[in-house]
Amino acid sequence: GAGVSQSPRYKVTKRGQDVALRCDPISGHVSLYWYRQALGQGPEFLTYFNYEAQQDKSGLPNDRFSAERPEGSISTLTIQRTEQRDSAMYRCASRHPSGSGETQYFGPGTRLLVL
């Protein structure tokens, strides 16, 4: 596609439910990143992949959060047993293989609201 896409754009769920957020990177982009952005804050790094390999997951808040990219393209961020504090905008970004770290292109985000 022309840009990074994310789905759903909005997700409302009840506390305790699991949610899966999807990211479809720009075609050909090797690296894929997940960020969380709370209202009024900058994006906070969660994890990233090169191809299908998860390179760094140090930003995942706890073990309820996990991510995968099984075929090196689409990625899914899963939050189990959601809590109200998980409510935020979740953003995905992808990077061209020949670019250095800064050439990331961000998607529109998924806004998650946990009731």
Partner 1 sequence: GQQLNQSPQSMFIQEGEDVSMNCTSSSIFNTWLWYKQEPGEGPVLLIALYKAGELTSNGRLTAQFGITRKDSFLNISASIPSDVGIYFCAGPFRDDKIIFGKGTRLHILP
For the chain, percent helix, then strand, then coil, each to nearest 5? Answer: 5, 50, 50
Between 59 and 72, name the residue whose CB sits nearer to partner 1. 59
In angstroms, give the least distance from the CB of 114 to partner 1.
Answer: 21
Between 75 and 109, name the residue whose CB sits nearer to partner 1. 109
Burial class of residue 32 in the structure, from the number of CB atoms within 10 Å of its CB (0-12 exposed, 13-18 middle, 19+ buried):
buried
Q: Are 95 and 84 in contact (CB under 8 A)?
A: no
In angstroms, give the least distance from the CB of 91 to partner 1.
Answer: 6
Q: Interface residues with partner 1 (CB under 8 A)?
A: 4, 31, 33, 35, 40-45, 48, 55-56, 58-59, 91, 93, 95, 100-104, 106-109
Burial class of residue 45 in the structure, from the number of CB atoms within 10 Å of its CB (0-12 exposed, 13-18 middle, 19+ buried):
middle
Residue 13 is inside which H or E element, if any?
Answer: strand 10-13
In angstroms, give the least distance from the CB of 105 to partner 1.
Answer: 8
In angstroms, give the least distance from the CB of 26 to partner 1.
Answer: 12
